Structure 1
Amino acid sequence: MATEHEGSPAVGHRAVVIVNPTNVDLPRLRTAVAQAQEQHGWLPTVWLETTIDDAGQRAAVRALKHDPTVVIVAGGDGTIRAVTEGLHSSGTPIAVVPAGTGNLLARNLGLMRDIETAVRTAFTGATRAIDVGLVSLEHDDGSTTSHAFLVMTGVGLDARMATDTSSALKRRIGWLAYVDPISRSVLGNQRFLMHYGVDGRREQSIRAHTVIVGNCGTLTGGMVLLPDARADDGLLDVVLFRPTGFWQWLRVATRLGVGGILHRSRNGRAVLRATPDLRVLPYVRARTLTARFDPPQSIQIDGDGFGRVVAVTVTLRPRAIGIQVPSA
């Protein structure tokens, strides 16, 4: 149950913790926060929990009423995304305590997973401003919604992998959990028609299995999907998956696997930049992407499903949210 401390003096530093209780070792987190609060002389910490009805957006709005120095978010990428929707215009930084199955934002920013290090970073770290992606959805029932994202949004096979695969299975066997949806897509050649335009240029049409728009580029296991993506470069990185058979899928898998290894060194990254793109795996960098789909497609945003869409518009707010990182 959420706990809020009312009536404290409105001076000094204060942390607000927004926690997803399903994924977090709450007693350990409370101990780490209490120790850091006492050590640094901060005001009593405010504790809020996400619920089935509130993934974090409303908790973020409530957090701002306490004039926090930092909002500590303990949860996975979906919880962080939801809190960001309520905070990215406020100027209040976020500190991440990674506690989900993917934790892709933490991986891309080099944030540690252990609770004590994450809490220490919240109280003593430096603030790094990163971009916030904004995606407007036109659903197949005619409704429209808008959402923020920090990692990636994907349409097609990527969305089916994210939403149709059991979270428990992903925790137990990792990427092997995706073998079934990938196999069905490869064997069934489940492509869709996409009409898209970038930065206001003339619209193009293409058939693809999936399209992924990223603010970050590295996936679980160190696989680099978007090698040029940087969380603070003011650009969206887009990749289209267009394989038409087993051997083309194998080339894509090989490129991504080898790319993950090469991306770890400066010389390796130079080799990647010099390697021609695969025709079945084209990349685009832009500030705005618009796309229409035939037939309607499933979409995921930072790992959470948001139904089926007929059209999307993806834009970016450069350096719109601060993330606490270890101080140099």
Structure 2
Amino acid sequence: MQRAAVVVNPTKVKDLRRLRDELTAVLQGYGWAEPLWFETTVAEPGEGQAREALAHGVDLVAALGGDGTVRCVASALLNTDTPLAVLAGGTGNLFARQLRLPINKYADALRVGLSGTDSPIDAIRISLDSRGSSEFDSEHIGLVMGGVGRDADIMADTTDKLKSRLGWTAYLVAGLRQLSHQLIPARIDVPGRPVLSRDITAVLAGNCGMLQGGMKLMPDAVVDDGLLDVVVVKGGGVRWLSVIGKVLTRSHKDSEQFTRAQVDQLTVHVGTPQRVEVDGDVIGTAHAVRFAAARGALTVRLPR
């Protein structure tokens, strides 16, 4: 019998016992064995559990939680033959929304994982120079988008308590704190192109272009094209009007406040160390960040 592992973020579920029974019944209805069951913790947010599941030789790993949980589980599955089922629950769920998967409907999402098609999609490799030594000393994986600058400050200010009270609008509340801010001197290096030096609010590189609330920051983003969609933002004060207008109209015309591009790799050097986020989680502070597309590195079960 085939067997799946379910990696659950318990903070997203009210009744774990009932959920486990429900998902086990779905699996057994498809002729699968009772699943391996893992719960995440603050110290082990999903990657370790997924690696343990792989060691047991499971046929499918289901990640139940928000974008952060899915990202951590997926990092263990890169470049393996084991597919990922996304059981999306939480506030943002941008990855699941981009792939048009069920949200907060765990049994339906698991059915997609059991009956769907294996689809290779890209991942984002994010490397940090955290010491200012011109060497990248840590690497992280993203599925939605990563960023350096004020967008990471917004993520840091968006606490779980705020999200539980306000839902996705918690990000807007945190963003209001960044309406007025100091710009960050940056140097943006794309192989084969002239180096761009500019004062910025943030640089974002994405695999999925959707934001909370359904807005599309990167309307041309595709999860399996081997490219990152990049946005360079120079906001603050009245400049935000131009930025908001570009996002709402999905304009492809560049300006000093808002520039879009598609690349397979870029490196952002900042004048002072800045926070870096990936898929809504702050992963550290860095003097430089390299974003690179890993084409087809992850297999996801998607609807037929």
User: Shared fold (TM-score greater than 0.5)?
Assistant: yes
Pair 1:92–1:194, CA change in 2 (3 A): same
Shift of 1:65: 1.4
What is aligned with 2:54?
A: 64
| Contact 1:292–1:311 (CA under 8 A) maintained in structure 2 | yes
Distance across 2 between alignment mates of 1:176 and 1:112: 21
What is aligned with 1:19?
A: 8
What is aligned with 2:209?
A: 217
Equivalent in 298, 303, 315 of residue 275 of structure 2: 298
Q: Amino acid of the residue matched to residue 191 of structure 1? A: L
The question of 1:40 aligning with 2:20 is answered no
**TM alignment of 1:161-200, pairs within 5 A:** 161-179=154-172, 181-188=174-181, 190-200=182-192
What is aligned with 2:237?
A: 245
Equivalent in 287, 295, 302 of residue 310 of structure 1: 287
RMSD: 1.9
Distance across 1 between alignment mates of 2:78 and 2:99: 18
Q: Secondary structure at the match of 2:180?
A: helix
Q: Amino acid of the residue matched to residue 221 of structure 2? A: A
Distance across 2 between alignment mates of 1:322 and 1:136: 22
Shift of 1:179: 4.6
Pair 1:93–1:294, CA change in 2 (3 A): same
Instruction: Give the aligned length.
Output: 300
Q: Secondary structure at the match of 2:253?
A: coil
Distance across 2 between alignment mates of 1:200 and 1:258: 30
**TM alignment of 1:313-324, pairs within 5 A:** 313-324=290-301
Moved more, 41-50 or 101-110: 41-50
What is aligned with 2:123?
A: 132
What is aligned with 1:8?
A: none
The question of 1:120 aligning with 2:97 is answered no
| Contact 1:28–1:115 (CA under 8 A) maintained in structure 2 | no
Shift of 1:145: 0.9
Give per-residue Cα distances to partners, 1:273-293, cap 9 Å, x unaligned: xx5234311011111111111
| Contact 2:268–2:290 (CA under 8 A) maintained in structure 1 | yes
Pair 1:214–1:35, CA change in 2 (3 A): same
Q: Unmatched 5+ residue regions in structure 2? A: none
Distance across 2 between alignment mates of 1:116 and 1:323: 17
What is aligned with 1:262?
A: none
Q: Secondary structure at the match of 1:282?
A: strand
Distance across 1 between alignment mates of 2:167 and 2:42: 25
Question: Normalising by structure 2, what TM-score?
Answer: 0.92
Q: Unmatched 5+ residue regions in structure 1? A: 1-11, 260-271
What is aligned with 2:101?
A: 111
Shift of 1:176: 4.1
Q: Amino acid of the residue matched to residue 231 of structure 1? A: V
Shift of 1:244: 4.9
Shift of 1:180: 5.1
Distance across 1 between alignment mates of 2:20 and 2:44: 21
Q: Secondary structure at the match of 2:166?
A: helix
| Contact 1:140–1:296 (CA under 8 A) maintained in structure 2 | no
| Contact 1:101–1:167 (CA under 8 A) maintained in structure 2 | no
| Contact 1:127–1:322 (CA under 8 A) maintained in structure 2 | yes
Pair 1:52–1:201, CA change in 2 (3 A): same
Moved more, 105-114 or 122-131: 122-131
What is aligned with 1:156?
A: 149
Aligned-pair identity (%): 38
Shift of 1:226: 0.6
Q: Secondary structure at the match of 2:74?
A: helix
Distance across 1 between alignment mates of 2:173 and 2:8: 32
Distance across 2 between alignment mates of 1:123 and 1:178: 34
Equivalent in 213, 229, 247 of residue 256 of structure 1: 247
Give per-residue Cα distances to partners, 1:96-152, cap 9 Å, x unaligned: 111222111011111111112111112111222110110111114768211111001
Question: Normalising by structure 1, what TM-score?
Answer: 0.86
